[in-house]
């Protein structure tokens, strides 16, 4: 899969230092618990935070946004909550298609979709098909995903292709990731005050700048997004050098 380059992003140069933002969307359950609500209400309330993140990326000319929506570990949660979450996600994705088209946003996914219910798989397929030609922002929704599972995927794929061990380097590995067109993550944002990467995009985040906020995900806003970007721009990224 090759990145779509038909349109030029206004105000963004090829040398832009912030191309890829990744977000660990954490705190839905705690947000609901603080208000005496069922945990699922936290998931419902989180939809606006996704909208705010997309607007923030477009404002700041970010080209790629990866969202940690459902990890491989999330299957351990109660089945009822998981099924309700899938319904919310499916309905939200379909409802958002008109706005995604207006904003020129493309949807892709990372992870393994075969375990999800048909309604959800169909919603994802429709969103991908409808937005495939869009290119101002690519939103990568990570579902049944973990950084370790992506590395296993890449290794298995290389073995199937009989790649010789001595030819394997970082560029070769990147060719076998789920989306080789995604650049490295520049900025990783995590909400809810937790300070860990939780098995998210481990290869892509090798030199990512980390931004942690105590704000719970449903309360995440475009102003916090811009705050994270401003802090990123004030950091000195040395990549191991001086």
Active site amino acids: 26, 74
Asked if residue 111 lies in contact with residue 142, where contact means CB atoms within 8 angstroms, the answer is yes
The DSSP secondary-structure symbol of 12 reads -
- Residues 108, 130 contacting (CB under 8 angstroms): no
In sequence order, what E strands does 51-103 have?
A: 64-71
Strand residue runs (E) in the chain: 20-24, 64-71, 105-111, 137-145, 187-190, 209-212
* Structure-token match 């958002």, residue found: 96
Distances in Å between the Cα of 86 and the Cα atoms of 51, 80, 198 are 18, 10, 21
Length of the chain (residues): 242
Rounded-to-integer distance, Cα 225 and Cα 187, Å: 11
């Amino acid at each position: 899969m090759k990145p779509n380059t038909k349109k030029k992003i206004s105000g963004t140069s090829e040398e832009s230092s912030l191309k890829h933002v990744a977000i660990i969307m954490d705190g839905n359950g705690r947000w609901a618990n603080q208000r005496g609500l069922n945990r699922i209400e936290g998931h419902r309330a989180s939809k606006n935070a996704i909208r705010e993140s997309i607007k923030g990326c477009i404002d700041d000319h970010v080209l790629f946004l990866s969202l940690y929506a459902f990890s491989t570990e999330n299957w351990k949660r109660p089945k009822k909550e998981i099924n309700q979450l899938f319904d919310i996600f499916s309905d939200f994705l379909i409802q958002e298609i008109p706005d995604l088209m207006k904003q020129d946003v493309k949807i892709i996914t990372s992870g393994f979709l075969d375990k999800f219910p048909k309604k959800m798989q169909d919603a994802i397929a429709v969103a991908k098909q409808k937005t495939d030609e869009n290119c101002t922002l690519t939103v990568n929704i990570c579902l049944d995903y973990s950084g370790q599972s992506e590395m296993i995927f890449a290794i298995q794929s290389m073995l199937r292709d009989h790649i010789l061990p001595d030819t394997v380097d970082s560029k070769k590995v990147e060719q076998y990731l789920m989306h080789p067109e995604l650049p490295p993550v520049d900025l990783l944002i995590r909400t809810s005050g937790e300070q860990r990467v939780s098995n998210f995009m481990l290869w892509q985040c090798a030199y990512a700048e980390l931004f942690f906020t105590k704000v719970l995900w449903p309360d995440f806003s475009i102003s916090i997004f811009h705050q994270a970007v401003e802090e990123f721009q004030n950091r000195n990224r040395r990549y191991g050098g001086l």
